[in-house]
Amino acid sequence: MQGVAQAGADGLLVTHLPNVYYLCGFTGSTGALLVESGRVTLFTDGRYAIQSREEVRHARVRVTRGSSLAAVGEYLRKGKKARMALDPAHLSVAEKSVLRRAAGRKMRWLARGGLVEELRAVKDAQEIVRMRSAARLGCIVFEEILPLVKPGVRELELAAEIEYRMRRRGAAGPAFDTIVASGTRAALPHARPTAKRLRKNELVVLDLGAILAHYCCDLTRTVYLGRAPARIRRWYQAVEEAKAAALEALRAGVAAGEVDAAARRVLRRSRLGQYFVHSTGHGLGLEVHEEPRLARGQRKLIRAGNVVTLEPGIYVEGVGGIRLEDDVAVFSDRNEVLTSAPRRFLEL
Amino acid sequence: MQGVAQAGADGLLVTHLPNVYYLCGFTGSTGALLVESGRVTLFTDGRYAIQSREEVRHARVRVTRGSSLAAVGEYLRKGKKARMALDPAHLSVAEKSVLRRAAGRKMRWLARGGLVEELRAVKDAQEIVRMRSAARLGCIVFEEILPLVKPGVRELELAAEIEYRMRRRGAAGPAFDTIVASGTRAALPHARPTAKRLRKNELVVLDLGAILAHYCCDLTRTVYLGRAPARIRRWYQAVEEAKAAALEALRAGVAAGEVDAAARRVLRRSRLGQYFVHSTGHGLGLEVHEEPRLARGQRKLIRAGNVVTLEPGIYVEGVGGIRLEDDVAVFSDRNEVLTSAPRRFLEL
């Protein structure tokens, strides 16, 4: 990894599991990958002795007794390396202490955040293929459950149906807790599904994501049960236009914050700006929230190979909410919207 | 919280979300709770403005723009407190930097791990009621899916059925990724379900947990498809005996390590000790892994109100594995096994 040398380090300790998977294929729940020039070593414990042997590519495996981080430290203490980089966002203060104690005082630890995330943000052709499949699965599930979205059904039941159908179609599971938020609960951007039953004349926000072959999709649609009042239709229209404006702004070379600004501008023009309480989107891949972040003031440039969500929304306390979300792959010359679920306002 | 004063601090910053929920009822995904004498404050962001108002008890809410930790730091900078405790296991190195920068140099941060976890390890009567319900739900689901455990079905399909049925019965979701591991895959203690189909003459490990009203259950059973060879039956018998020995050893006042040793002794006597590659159990509650840990050498004493799993297992590469797990509540005068799923060897 070029970034490591540039960072002035002899190597990089990778502790964030999606990064470990990305670099060596290991899917266990405990492990640390030490990247040195010419040598990559996965440290994991006895539970993963067999599994790591089956999965790991491009790295040796050391099965440790007890803490893998302590083992990394002891290994480094015996070696000649003097400066190791690590990502401070993915190591707890307590883990750092274990590492420091085991490695000894001579080792200098350099805080270098996001090196692997930078690599992951740019998807290669094979990753795009997987993300297309994940997005397709999400959309199929959405269309499958639409007939079930009707008065009387509980939010929790719908969420269960959604996740069940994902898995039946091969997903490892949901990429995040499925959101089914109806009526005034739709005004909570991160509502958990409850035992509340859907009622006529309510908005229903459905936000779902599946993990297929390790890659995530993330899809939101908002529907109305019954015939919507004119105000709600206007809101829907405005959110859809905000998403379209973000898609228009999204291309390699622009600042991520510009994409956010494009969506925000549309909602502000419709006097809905104050109801848009989160950012416009985020990168998507092995994790459901990755680089780049499409948020206010983000100067990082969009690159070909980025896959992001576009998901403007408005949340009006006491009334409800509307969020619309698609997944989009950025290429050098065009965008590809990976999610094909219907975009028109569905009044069910 | 008494422990805070004992720890020589003016207050405690709680950053681990299950701890935040335990202390104030907030269920959002971002928030930090500052516990000072006479005043408790939840810091969270705009996404949770409405939700926090609905949920939070025993605390004021401050809705922050941007990072909640930066807001905590700025709040403390203006105050008179000089020494704040935090749990280094639940704060990343990067978050600590944000906090330190915002709070200023005068603030001393004391590393005090596990204060809230100590409280949580002892369940009160209402928590035990909830855990009983969660365990019952897990057992009902296990019995429901037993007829589906037969040659031809895929591991992934069974996992989907299990999680679907949990949710249909009111669970918020699985407490962890459901394990369905068949044949030689059963030799992986933390196998993920795959597209592999179950076959005749195989062991199948089913490890499932549901979250019901915030509390987890955790249940493992191992079944055999067909008539098991004598060796496999002996193994099953040994694992069941190891679990019984752990249950026998489990009582208020003994060291947690003693419970582990009791299970280990039985397996060693059956010459299966080397195949028992993990610890005997763990506390269970709002999280699926809590205090106390029933592991080698743990000197912490078991207390009345602890709820723990007992889950010895053996893993034989190339053959398969057997794990059996129950959830047990410890009272001053007796234990209550919360999980009632059948314990006899099922040959399906």
Main-chain dihedrals φ then ψ at residue B163, nearest 5 degrees: -70, -35
B120, B149, B179: which is the final residue of a domain? B120
Percent of chain B with pLDDT over 90: 88
Q: Which residue of B has its CA nearest to A274?
A: B46
3-state SS assignment for residue B301: strand
DSSP summary character for residue B252: T
Nearest-angstrom CA–CA distance, B143 and B341: 7
Instruction: Report the alpha-carbon distance of residue A18 to residue A283 in Å, rounded.
Output: 14
Q: Are residues B44 and B91 in the same domain?
A: yes
CB B10: neighbour CB atoms within 10 A?
20
Same domain, A212 and A171: yes
Q: Give the tens place of pLDDT for each residue, A248-272.
A: 999 999 999 999 999 999 999 999 9
The residues that bridge with A86 in the sheet, in sequence order, are: A13, A111
Which of 171-200 (A) contact B at CB < 8 A?
172-173, 177, 187-192, 195
In this complex, is the C-beta atom of A207 within 8 Å of any C-beta atom belonging to chain B? no
Interface of B with A in 146-165 (CB under 8 A): 156-157, 159-161, 163-164
The answer on A213 and A333 residing in a single domain is yes
Residue B1: pLDDT above 80?
Answer: no
Q: Report yes or no: A256 and A299 within 8 Å, Cβ to Cβ.
A: yes
| Dist. CA A14–CA A33, nearest whole Å | 5
Domain containing residue A45: 2-120
Answer yes or no: are the C-beta atoms of B235 and B210 closer than 8 Å.
Answer: no
Instruction: Quote the CA–CA distance of B206 and A263 in Å, as a whole number.
Output: 47
The C-alpha angle A297, A299, A305, rounded to 5 degrees, equals: 125
Neighbours of A5 (CB within 10 A): 13
User: Which uninterrupted H or E stretch holds B216?
Assistant: strand B215-216
A150-185 burial code (b ≥16 CB/10 A, e <16): eeebbbbbbbbbbbbbbbbbbbbbbbbbbbbbbbbb
B97: which chain A residues are within 8 Å (Cβ-Cβ)? 88
**Residues with Cβ within 8 Å of residue B333, at least 6 apart in sequence:** none
Alpha carbon of A254: minimum distance to chain B alpha carbons (Å): 23
* Reduced DSSP (H G I as helix, E B as strand, rest coil) percent helix, strand, coil of chain A, to 5: 40, 25, 35
What distance in Å separates the CA atoms of residue A263 and residue A324, rounded to the nearest whole number? 12
Closest partner residue to A89 (CB to CB) among B47, B92, B111 is: B92
Which of B238, B240, B260 minimizes the C-alpha distance to B250?
A: B260
C-alpha dihedral, B21 to B59 to B31 to B282, nearest 10°: -20
A104 and A163 part of one domain:
no
CATH of residue A231's domain is 3.90.230.10
Give the distance from residue A178's alpha carbon to the nearest chain B alpha carbon, in angstroms: 10
pLDDT at position B50, please?
A: 87
Cβ contacts of A168 on chain B, cutoff 8 Å = 157, 160
Nearest CB among A92, A159, A187 relative to B90 is that of A92
Distances (CA, A) of B133 to B217, B287, B339: 9, 15, 10
- The average pLDDT across B56-65 equals 95
Tell me what pLDDT residue A50 has: 87
The C-alpha atoms of residue B217 and residue B340 are separated, in whole angstroms, by 12
Which of A90, A97, A163 has its CB closest to that of B163? A163
Domain count, chain A: 2
From chain B residues 53-82, the ones with a CB under 8 A of any chain A CB are none
Contact by Cβ (8 Å): A312, A280: yes
- Judge whether B170 is closer than 8 Å to chain A, CB to CB: yes
The CA distance from A332 to the nearest CA of chain B, in Å, is 32
CA B258 – CA B120 distance, rounded (Å): 22
Quick one: A36 and A180 in the same domain?
Answer: no
- Lowest mean pLDDT, pick from A3-17, B45-59, B276-290: A3-17
Task: Say what the pLDDT of residue A66 is.
Answer: 84
Distance CA B287, CA B110 (A): 25
Return the bridge partners of A174, or none. A210
- How confident is the model over A211-223, as a mean pLDDT? 98
Terminal-to-terminal C-alpha distance of chain A: 52
The per-residue pLDDT for B4 is 66
Contact B188 A50 (CB under 8 A): yes
Residues of A in contact with B191 (CB under 8 A): 51
Question: Which residues of chain B lie closer than 8 angstroms to A50, CB-CB?
Answer: 187-188, 315, 317
Q: Are A140 and A23 found together in one domain?
A: no
Given a contact cutoff of 8 angstroms between Cβ atoms, the answer to whether B21 and B27 are in contact is yes
Q: Which residue has the tokens 């979250």?
A: B211
Secondary structure (DSSP) of B312-334 = -EEEETTTEEEE-BEEEEE-SS-
Boundary (domain end) residue, out of A120, A151, A173: A120
Determine contact, residues B184/B320, Cβ cutoff 8 Å: yes
Q: Which residues pair with A315 in a beta bridge?
A: A321
Residue of B nearest to A91 (CA): B92
Q: Which of A50, A168, A172 sits opposite B317 (nearest CB)?
A: A50
pLDDT at B343 over 80: yes
Which amino acid belongs to residue B197?
A: R
Note the pLDDT tens digit of each residue in B198-232. Answer: 999 999 999 999 999 999 999 999 999 999 999 99
Tell me how far apart the alpha carbons of residues A196 and B287 are, in angstroms, rounded to a whole number. Answer: 25
For residues B261-286, give the mean pLDDT. Answer: 97
Strands of B281-283's sheet in order across: B290-294, B281-283, B307-310, B326-330, B335-337
Instruction: Give yes or no: residues B46 and B132 share one domain.
Output: no
Written as six digits, the tokens of A241 are 């236009």
Give the mean pLDDT of A122-139.
98
B260 shares a domain with B207: yes
Mutate one of A17, A51, A93 to test the B interface: name it (highest B CB count within 10 A): A93
Residue B236 to residue B222: CA distance in whole angstroms:
8
* Interface list for B 110-129 with A (CB within 8 A): 111, 113
Whether residues A111 and B94 touch (CB distance < 8 A) is answered with yes
**Three-state DSSP class for residue A192:** coil
Residue of A nearest to B196 (CA): A170
Distance from CA of A106 to the nearest CA of B (A): 20
Read off the pLDDT band of A281 (50, 70, 90). Answer: very high
CB-CB under 8 Å, B160 with A164:
yes
Cα–Cα distance, A277 to B210 (Å, whole number): 32
Q: pLDDT (tens digit, 9 = 90+) per residue, B224-256?
A: 999 999 999 999 999 999 999 999 999 999 999
The whole-angstrom distance between B40's CA and the closest CA on chain A is: 24
DSSP B195: S
Give this prediction's pTM.
Answer: 0.88
What amino acid occupies position B75? Y
Window 296-335 of B, Cβ < 8 Å to A: 315, 317
Smallest CA–CA distance from B170 into chain A, residue: A156
Q: Verify that A191 and A265 share a domain, yes or no.
A: yes
SS3 content of chain B, % helix, strand, coil (to 5): 40, 25, 35
Q: Which two tokens stand for residue A300?
A: 């990082």
Closest residue to B88, CB basis, from A97, A192, A317: A97
Residues in contact with A2: Cβ distance below 8 Å, sequence separation at least 6, in sequence order = none
User: With 90 as the cut, is the pLDDT of residue A200 above it?
Assistant: yes
Contact indicator for B210, B139 with CB cutoff of 8 Å: no
Distances (CA, A) of B200 to B149, B152, B183, B224: 11, 9, 9, 8
- Could you tell me if A49 and A154 lie in one domain? no
pLDDT tens figures, A282-337: 999 999 999 999 999 999 999 999 999 999 999 999 999 999 999 999 999 999 99
ipTM of the complex: 0.84
Residue B328: what are its φ and ψ, rounded to 5°?
A: -130, 130
Q: Residue A1: what pLDDT?
A: 60
Alpha helices in A226-340 (DSSP H): 230-249, 256-269
Q: Are A278 and A189 in contact, with CB atoms under 8 Å apart?
A: yes
Number of Cβ within a 10 Å radius of residue A347: 13
- Tell me the shortest Cα–Cα distance from A40 to chain B, in angstroms: 24
> Is the CB of B47 less than 8 angstroms away from the CB of A189?
yes
**What is the band of A154 on the pLDDT scale with cuts at 50, 70, 90?**
very high
Interface test with chain A among B63, B65, B87, B92, by most A beta carbons within 10 Å: B92
Domain end point (choices B65, B94, B120): B120
**Residues 82-101 (B) with a CB less than 8 A from some CB of A:** 87-97
d(CA B207, CA B332): 29
Instruction: Looking at the structure, tell me whether residues A164 and A297 fall in a common domain.
Output: yes
Q: Do B266 and B293 lie in a common domain?
A: yes
pLDDT level of residue B132 (50, 70, 90 thresholds):
very high
Tokens read off for A260: 């956010």
DSSP, residue by residue, A90-146? GSBHHHHHHHHHHH-TTPEEEE-TTHHHHHHHS--HHHHHHHHHHHHHHHHHHHHHG
Q: What is the pLDDT of residue A192?
A: 85
CATH number of the domain where residue A104 is located = 3.40.350.10
Instruction: Give the residues across from A180 on adjacent strands.
Output: A206
